[in-house]
């Protein structure tokens, strides 16, 4: 069979067009499918990185990426880690996946539903090599819920919510056992290896062994800076702790060393990308999973100041995340984006950059916000459902500059400056980009509460980012309209997936290891 000259020309045109679509899929950037390096810090507070203006804990390597990238200053996560990680993986609000209440405890027999298509599964369809390192926390009671059965070619890390940084054991309701895995294999040989350094080493190994003819998706979910087991909740290498002798509070001093270890580890990952000629075609995302556990909450010493509240609350300190995007593929960098963004937006945004069709998404709650990151165009997102917890009835919802908080507990609702700040005030303040720092006046003596007894609150975050003044009485029509929208979301909510503790999960039943037990 022969082809006419016209047919041959048409075929060539089609080939060229297909090539150009692939090459220009980043919205005007000449590149093949980009490598995607997705870095998640655990429990990192707003005020725990110097690119937000904190002089207490220098984070020079993170700062370099942030200040030469795009800092996301109007970006929201979930109040706690399992819901946030489910939102990253599915692009859906937790109320639509049943993950909206609490976190998965080690001996609870449930996980993120197997009916959900996850981020690595989407990217594998587009030809990506998919590798995970670090924390999972989306279920492991059955083998099918673990990472290498859900789209990852490899996964080295732990499946529970926390662990000892040195011996990699986890103590929770139901038992105490090892929680370190390489795919389906339990890892006993890394005792004494500090987890932050261990995970960065494994991430570097992935990069160095990667076949660069294929695009790479690397999900690096650090344990840092989550607290460990109750015996020694904060842990860091002694040489790094010694660097922060000026911080009088010992727990904050150790915490600063934990952040520093992560900062140094991220540099090793970026250096590996450069050495393997992958950096110039990579998108690096950095995000915390929730706000910081400040002032001793959860045995930790993070800081969200001047934002209000802590991890596990619906205040800005619990849900406004430290985040940035860094990539040589972005031409206009060194900026702070104030466009609205939610953690559910990562999946559609990255999937489209990888060459996918956004219509493939399974009823995603996220938006493709790449243009608002790259060019500061208006974000397609104008509202964020922060969460609805059907057990506590606590909820929060934001529309443009307005935010409502409903039935929130009064516990941990204050403003918590980092301890030991007085000892480091003589240090020069870090160089920050315009709008990267949130400033507020001194907190009021009487704290506005939004409990079941006091009623819902309405805050204007454009003028009151630290949530000092309840505007509910001044703008009743805005409050009622937002409450009505919140009710619509409640009507669309699926039941929570949480299950009671199962004694069969005890690691003693499997040789001292937290492993799939059903």
pLDDT of residue 149: 98
**Residue pLDDT, tens place only, 444-501:** 999 999 999 999 999 999 999 999 999 999 999 999 999 999 999 999 999 999 999 9
Considering only residues 61 and 17, tell me which one the structure prediction assigns the higher pLDDT: 61
**Residue pLDDT, tens place only, 128-138:** 999 999 999 99
pLDDT band for position 201 (cuts 50, 70, 90): very high
- Evaluate whether 385 touches 96 at the Cβ level (below 8 Å): no
**Residue pLDDT, tens place only, 287-307:** 999 999 999 999 999 999 999
- Mean pLDDT, the chain, rounded, equals 94
- Average pLDDT for residues 260-275, to the nearest whole number? 98
pLDDT of residue 426: 56
- Average pLDDT for residues 308-333, to the nearest whole number? 98
Residue 12 φ/ψ, nearest 5 degrees: -65, -40
DSSP 8-state code for residue 320 = B
Structure tokens at 116: 């959900």
Query: Shortest CA distance to 462 belongs to which of 73, 11, 16, 27?
Result: 73
The helices-and-strands tally (H runs, E runs) of the chain is: 11, 18
Q: What are the DSSP calls for 389-410, one per residue?
A: -TTT--EEEEETTEEEEES--S
pTM for the whole structure: 0.94
**Residue pLDDT, tens place only, 396-438:** 999 999 999 999 999 999 999 999 765 444 567 788 999 999 9
Instruction: Report the run of H or E that residue 262 belongs to, with start and end.
Output: helix 250-275
Strand 129-135's sheet: what is its strand order? 185-186, 181-182, 154-158, 129-135, 216-221, 35-41, 282-288, 323-326, 70-72, 335-337
Q: Which domains does the chain have, with CATH numbers?
A: 35-381+495-509 (3.40.720.10)
Indicate if the pLDDT at residue 264 is higher than 90: yes
Just list the catalytic residues. 81, 137
Q: How far is CA 286 from CA 62, 169, 211, 322, 427, in A?
A: 9, 26, 24, 8, 26
With b for 16 or more beta-carbon neighbours within 10 A and e for fewer, the 183-200 pattern comes to eeebbeebeebbbbbbbb
pLDDT of residue 15: 47
pLDDT of residue 421: 67
Task: Specify the 3-state DSSP secondary structure of 22.
Answer: helix
């Amino acid at each position: 069979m022969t082809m006419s000259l016209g047919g041959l020309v048409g075929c060539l045109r089609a080939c060229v067009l297909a090539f150009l679509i692939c090459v220009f899929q980043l919205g005007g950037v000449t590149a093949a499918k980009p490598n995607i390096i997705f870095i998640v810090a655990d429990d990192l507070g707003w005020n725990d990185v110097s690119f937000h203006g904190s002089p207490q804990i220098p984070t020079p390597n993170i700062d370099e990426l942030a200040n030469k990238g795009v800092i996301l200053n109007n970006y929201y996560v979930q109040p706690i880690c399992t819901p946030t990680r489910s939102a990253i993986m599915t692009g859906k609000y937790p109320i639509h996946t049943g993950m909206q209440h609490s976190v998965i405890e080690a001996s609870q027999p449930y996980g993120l539903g197997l009916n959900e298509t996850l981020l690595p599964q989407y990217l594998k369809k587009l030809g990506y090599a998919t590798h995970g390192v670090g924390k999972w926390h989306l279920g492991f009671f059955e083998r099918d819920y673990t990472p290498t059965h859900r789209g990852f070619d490899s996964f080295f890390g732990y499946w529970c919510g926390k662990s000892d940084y040195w011996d990699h054991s986890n103590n929770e309701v139901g038992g105490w056992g090892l929680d370190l895995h390489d795919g389906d294999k339990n890892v006993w040989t890394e005792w004494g290896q500090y987890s932050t350094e261990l995970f960065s080493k494994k991430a570097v190994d992935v990069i160095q062994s990667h076949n660069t003819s294929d695009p790479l998706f690397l999900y690096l979910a650090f344990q840092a800076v989550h607290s460990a087991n109750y015996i020694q909740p904060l842990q860091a290498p002694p040489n790094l702790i010694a660097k922060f002798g000026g911080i009088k509070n010992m727990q904050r001093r150790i915490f600063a060393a934990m952040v520093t270890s992560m900062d140094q580890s991220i540099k090793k990952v970026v250096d590996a990308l450069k050495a393997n000629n992958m950096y110039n075609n990579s998108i690096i995302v950095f995000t915390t999973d929730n706000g910081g556990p400040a002032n001793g909450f959860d045995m930790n010493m993070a800081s969200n100041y001047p934002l209000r509240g802590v991890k596990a609350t619906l205040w800005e300190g619990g849900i406004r995340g430290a985040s940035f995007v860094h990539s040589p593929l972005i031409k206009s960098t060194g900026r702070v984006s104030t466009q609205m963004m939610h953690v559910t937006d990562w999946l559609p945004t990255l999937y489209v950059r990888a060459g996918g069709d956004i219509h493939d998404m399974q009823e995603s709650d996220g938006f493709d916000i790449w243009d608002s990151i790259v060019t500061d165009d208006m974000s397609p997102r104008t509202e964020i459902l922060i969460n609805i917890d059907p057990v506590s009835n606590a909820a929060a919802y934001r529309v443009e500059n307005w935010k409502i908080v409903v039935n929130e507990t009064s516990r941990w609702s204050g403003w918590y400056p980092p301890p030991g700040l007085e000892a480091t005030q003589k240090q020069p303040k870090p160089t920050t980009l315009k709008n990267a720092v949130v400033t507020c006046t001194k907190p009021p003596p009487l704290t506005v509460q939004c409990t079941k007894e006091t009623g819902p609150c309405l805050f204007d975050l454009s003028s009151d980012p630290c949530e000092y003044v309840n505007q509910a009485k001044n703008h009743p029509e805005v409050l009622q309209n937002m409450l009505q929208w919140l009710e619509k979301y409640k009507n669309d909510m699926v039941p929570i997936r949480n299950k009671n503790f199962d004694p069969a999960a005890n690691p003693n039943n499997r040789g001292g290891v937290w492993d799939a037990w059903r």
